[in-house]
C-alpha cells in the first residue's frame, strides 16, 4: 500500500493557520483522520485543541420555540451525542455516526442555521455540528422527560415526534401497518405509553424484549447493553389517530415515507371491508 504523502508545510497551513481539523484535512487528501494524525506525529506537530478549532465557526444563539426545543430534545435523547470539549468551552458539539444519509440530512437541517456543520465518511457517515452555549439544554442525557414537556400537549407531541424520528419503526409488515419503538430508555418508553393513552390511542403495556448482556447476533456476538423495551401500536383506528398527530411533526424523510405507505395500507384495508 502506497503511503499517503501530506507535506509538512501544507499541514501547518491547514491546521495552524486555517484551523482545519484532522477530519477536514483528511477529506482534502482523501484519507482517514488516523493518517493525518500519524503524519502530524512524524513531523512532531502538536494538534490544536478542539475548542480552538471550533471557536472559529460563526454561531447563532438558539431562538427557536418550545416546539423546536422539545423536538430537538426528543431527537437528541434518541440518537445524538452532545458534549462540551471542556466545562468552560463556549462550544457545544452535536454529533452522530450513521449509515443513513437521511439521518445526516435531517441533523444538518436542524442545526445548520445555528452553526457550522461538517459531514464526512462514505459508507459510515459522521456529522458534527458546532453550536454556542444556548444549546446547553441538549447536554443532559437522562432516561427522563422534563415536566415542562409533559405538562403541555403541544410540547409532548413535538418531543414524541423527535424521539420517534430517532428510534421509531413505522412500516407495513405481513400486509398490515405497524408502529413500534424499541429502546433502552425504559422511562421514556413508559412515557410514550402514557402519551399514547392520553391521546386515546390504544396499545398494549410496554414489554421487555431483551435483557442486558443477552446476545442478539450470534455471528457478530452483539449483545444488548441494557434491558430493551418496546411500545407498539397495531390497531387500525389507533394507528390512524397516531399518524394524524405525528405526521405534521416528523422531519425524517424515511419516517414520513413509511408513514404514508402505512396510511395507504390502512385505506386499502378499509376499502376491502
43 and 81 together in one domain: no
Backbone angles phi, psi at 181, to 5 degrees: -130, 125
Task: Share the mean pLDDT of the chain.
Answer: 91
pLDDT above 80: residue 52: no
133 and 180 together in one domain: no
Please report the sign of the dihedral spanned by the C-alpha atoms of residue 141, residue 143, residue 146, residue 149.
Answer: positive
Instruction: Report the domain count for the chain.
Output: 3
Out of 138, 169, 189, a domain closes at 138
114 and 208 together in one domain: no
151 and 250 together in one domain: yes
Confidence of residue 1 (pLDDT cuts 50, 70, 90): low
Is residue 120 in a domain? yes
186 and 267 together in one domain: yes
Decide: helix, strand or coil at residue 259: helix
- What is the domain extent for residue 263? 147-272
Span 175-203, mean pLDDT?
Answer: 97
Amino acid 221: pLDDT: 86
Is residue 159 in a domain? yes
Chain segment 146-176, per-residue pLDDT in tens = 999 999 999 999 999 999 999 999 999 999 9
Residue in this structure with the C-alpha cell 437522562, named with its chain if needed:
142
225 and 159 together in one domain: yes
Is residue 185 in a domain? yes
Backbone angles phi, psi at 7, to 5 degrees: -60, 145
125 and 19 together in one domain: no
pLDDT above 90: residue 57: no
* Minimum mean pLDDT range among 38-42, 44-48, 86-90: 86-90
Out of 117, 138, 159, a domain closes at 138
262 and 216 together in one domain: yes
134 and 160 together in one domain: no
Out of 95, 112, 138, a domain closes at 138
pLDDT above 90: residue 121: no
CATH classification at residue 86: 3.10.28
pTM as predicted: 0.80
132 and 172 together in one domain: no
The percentage of residues in the chain with a pLDDT greater than 90, rounded to a whole number, is: 65
Helices then strands (H, E): number in the chain? 11, 10
Is residue 2 in a domain? no
pLDDT above 80: residue 18: no
Segments in 112-235 forming alpha helices (H): 147-150, 153-167, 186-198
Amino acid at each position: 500500500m502506497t503511503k499517503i504523502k501530506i507535506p509538512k508545510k501544507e499541514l501547518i497551513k491547514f491546521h495552524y493557520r486555517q484551523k482545519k481539523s484532522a477530519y477536514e484535512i483528511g477529506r482534502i487528501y482523501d484519507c482517514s483522520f488516523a493518517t493525518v494524525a500519524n503524519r502530524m506525529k512524524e513531523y512532531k506537530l502538536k494538534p490544536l485543541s478542539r475548542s480552538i478549532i471550533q471557536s472559529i465557526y460563526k454561531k447563532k444563539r438558539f431562538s427557536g420555540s418550545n416546539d423546536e426545543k422539545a423536538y430537538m430534545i426528543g431527537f437528541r435523547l434518541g440518537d445524538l451525542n452532545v458534549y462540551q470539549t471542556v466545562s468552560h468551552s463556549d462550544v457545544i458539539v452535536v454529533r452522530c455516526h450513521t449509515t443513513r444519509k437521511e439521518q445526516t440530512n435531517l441533523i444538518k437541517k436542524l442545526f445548520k442555521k445555528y452553526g457550522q456543520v461538517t459531514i464526512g465518511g462514505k459508507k459510515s457517515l459522521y456529522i458534527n455540528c458546532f453550536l454556542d452555549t444556548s444549546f446547553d439544554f441538549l447536554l443532559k442525557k437522562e432516561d427522563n422527560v422534563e415536566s415542562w414537556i409533559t405538562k403541555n400537549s403541544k410540547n409532548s407531541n413535538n418531543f414524541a415526534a423527535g424521539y420517534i424520528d430517532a428510534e421509531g419503526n413505522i412500516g407495513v409488515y405481513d400486509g398490515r401497518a405497524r408502529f413500534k419503538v424499541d429502546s433502552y430508555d425504559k422511562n421514556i418508553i413508559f412515557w410514550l405509553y402514557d402519551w399514547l393513552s392520553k391521546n386515546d390511542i390504544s396499545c398494549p403495556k410496554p414489554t421487555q424484549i431483551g435483557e442486558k448482556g443477552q446476545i442478539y447476533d450470534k455471528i457478530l456476538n452483539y449483545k444488548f447493553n441494557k434491558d430493551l423495551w418496546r411500545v407498539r401500536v397495531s390497531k387500525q383506528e389507533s394507528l390512524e389517530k397516531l399518524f394524524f398527530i405525528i405526521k405534521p411533526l416528523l422531519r425524517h424523510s424515511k419516517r414520513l415515507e413509511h408513514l404514508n405507505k402505512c396510511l395507504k395500507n390502512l385505506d386499502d384495508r378499509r376499502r376491502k371491508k
